[in-house]
A and B are shown apart, each in its own frame.
Chain A
Amino acid sequence: MELARDEEEALAGKKGKALASAYRILVAIGEATGAKKFVPIKWAHVSGVNYNTIGDAGAQFLDEFSRTAKVAVKTTVNPMGYDRNHPEGIPEKFQEKQTSIVKSYERIGVTPSFTCTPYEVFDIPDKGTAVSFAESNAAVFSNSLLGLRTNKESALSALASSVTGKAPLSDLRLDEARNPKVGIEANFRFGSELHYGLLGYFAGKVVKDSSVAFSGISRPSTIEAKALSAAIGTSGSCGMFTVGRGRGEKISFGKKEAKAVMEELSTAEDGDIITLGSPQLGLNELDFLAKLTEGKKFSKRCMIFCSRAIYGQAAKVGLTGKLERSGAEIMCDSCTCLTPYVTKDKYDSVVSNSVKGAYYLNNSNKVKVALKDIRTIAKVCTE
C-alpha cells in the first residue's frame, strides 16, 4: 500500500497510540483486500459493544484505546447486552463491565445508538458514498439496497476507520467486486421471510466472492431483505447481493438445500420463550406484528428487540401499547444475538424467526431453537 506522509507518521506513532493502532489495523486489512490507498469515509458503524461478545479483553482494550482516541467521522454503535431500563436479571458483574464498555465508546465520541439497524434509524448518505460498517447485516443491507460502499468490516477495522476517517479503497468499494460473478437460483416459491434467511445462510456458506446475484426470487421487502442480509453475514464472508441474473456460475437453491439449513439450525420443535429481533425490528415489522397479534395474547414470554429510536417512533403511534397488550416485552439497546437475557440455565429452547439469531443461540448461548416464520409464531404462540 502507498501511504500519504501523515498516514506514515500516524502509523509510526507520531500522532499518539490510538492512531498508531488504527493505522496498523487499516494497513493489515488494506493488504488483505489488495488496496493501494485509503479513501475518506463518511460514516462508521462499530460492533463489539455487548460485553458477551468482546469479554474482559475487549473491555480492557477499549478502556485503554479510548484514552487517546477520538472519532473523526460520524460513528454509530451496535447493541449492548441489555436494555438500560431493564437490567433485571442481568448479573451485577455483567452490568459493571457493560457500563465500562459504554463509557469507553462515549469517551471516543460515538453516537450511543445501540442498534444493529443503523440504516433504519439515521439519514442515508447519497448512493456511492464510502462508509465503514461492521455488523454484517448492516454492511450487506447497505451495500445491496442503499448503494453505500462498505467492505464487510470487522469490529476493529470499523473502529480504526472511525478514528481516522479512512478505509482502504478495495473490494466492495470498487465497481468490479460489486458486479457478482456467481449466482444462486431459488427453484421453489418463497412463502415467508424465513425462506430468505435460509437462502442467505446457504449463500454465505457456498459463495466465496464478495458479492452474489440471486435469481428466482422477487425483490425482497424490507423484512425479507433484513433476514437475507443477516443470514448471509452469519455464515460467510460475502458482503453484498443483487437480485437478477449474475454472470457465470449458477448454484441451485431448492427445497433440499433449505431443509438442510433448517436441520442444522432449527434444533427444537417448540420453545420456552419467543425472541424477535436479530436484526432489531423496524417500525414496519412492529406494525405488522401488532396487526397479526391484535386481540390475542402471547402464550409464552415474548421478547421483541428494537432500537431505542424505533421504540420512540413506535410509542408515538401507539404500536408499543398494542404489542404490550398482547403480552410482549419490548427491549431496547440490545438484540437476540448473545443476549444475557437468554441463558441455558433459564431456558432450554427459544422460538425465533431469525436465522442469524438461531445460529448464535445454538452456538453461543447453547440453547435449542425452533425456527418459525413470523406469521406462524403469531398464530401458534398466541391464544
Chain B
Amino acid sequence: MIISNCKKIVGGSGEGLTLVTAQPINFLAMVDPKTGMITDSKHELYEKSLKGAVLVFPYAVGSSVGAYAIYSLREYGTAPNAVVCSKADITTASGCAIASIPVVDLPKGAPAIKQGAVARVEADAGRIIVKV
C-alpha cells in the first residue's frame, strides 16, 4: 500500500515497523529517553519502545519541553526512524527538526495503517510505503 499526498513537515526518509496509536503522547511525561519506552500505564503503547519504529500517532500534547525529550531520544539512540501524524503539532515538528527525524502529516481520509507492518516514510516525496 502506498499513501501519497502526505504533507512534509520534516524532510528525509526512514523505515521501520509501524507503532500505531490513536492516543496523543506527552513526550516529557510518558517516554523514558534512555530506553525509548512509553512509561504511562494508561497509554495504549505502554511498555512499547519507539526505537527504530515508524511512529504513527495523532499529535503530541502537554509540556513544551517535549521537544527536548524527542531530541534526547536521538542522542540516546532510541528515537523512531520516522513519524507519521494525523495533525503534527509544534512540539513534534520542532523536536524532530532538531533530531533529524522525518515527519509527515497524513492526508484526509488516508487508509488505516496496520500495527507492526514494515513501512517506509519518504517525507520529501510526501509518501508512505506500507508493506504487509
Q: Which of A's residues lie within 8 Å of B, judged by CB?
A: 21, 24-25, 27-29, 31-33, 47-48, 53-58, 60-61, 134-136, 139, 151-158, 160, 204, 208, 233-237, 264, 359-360, 363-364
Q: Give chain B nearest CB distance to A141 CB in angstroms.
A: 14
A32-B88, A204-B61, A235-B61 known; A48 vs B68 contact (CB < 8 Å): yes
Q: Give chain A nearest CB distance to B9 CB in angstroms.
A: 5
Give the contacting residue for A28; candidates B24, B71, B75, B94; CB below 8 A. B94
Q: Which of B's residues lie within 8 Å of A, judged by CB?
A: 7-10, 24, 26, 28-30, 33, 40, 42, 59-68, 71-72, 74-76, 87-98, 103, 105
Give the contacting residue for B66; candidates A27, A154, A360; CB below 8 A. A154
5 pairs from A and B in contact (CB 8 Å cutoff):
A28-B10, A53-B65, A55-B68, A55-B72, A158-B64
Task: List, in ascending order, chain A residues with CB within 8 A of B87's CB.
Answer: 208
Q: Give chain A nearest CB distance to B40 CB in angstroms.
A: 6
Which among B29, B87, B93, B94 has the greatest number of chain A C-beta atoms within 10 A? B94
Establish whether residues B68 and A53, one from each chain, have CB atoms under 8 Å apart when the complex forms. yes
Separation of A53 and B66 alpha carbons in the complex (Å): 9
Give the contacting residue for B29; candidates A25, A154, A359; CB below 8 A. A359
Question: What does DSSP make chain A's interface, helix, strand, loop or mixed?
Answer: helix
Which among B63, B71, B92 has the greatest number of chain A C-beta atoms within 10 A? B63
Task: List, in ascending order, chain B residues with CB within 8 A of A47's CB.
Answer: 63-65
Establish whether residues A156 and B72, one from each chain, have CB atoms under 8 Å apart when the complex forms. no
Give the contacting residue for B94; candidates A139, A157, A208, A359; CB below 8 A. A157
Establish whether residues A363 and B61, one from each chain, have CB atoms under 8 Å apart when the complex forms. no
A61-B71, A237-B24 known; A28 vs B93 contact (CB < 8 Å): yes
A55-B33, A58-B68, A363-B29 known; A154 vs B91 contact (CB < 8 Å): yes
Establish whether residues A235 and B88, one from each chain, have CB atoms under 8 Å apart when the complex forms. no
Task: List, in ascending order, chain B residues with CB within 8 A of A58's CB.
Answer: 68, 71-72
Separation of A28 and B67 alpha carbons in the complex (Å): 12
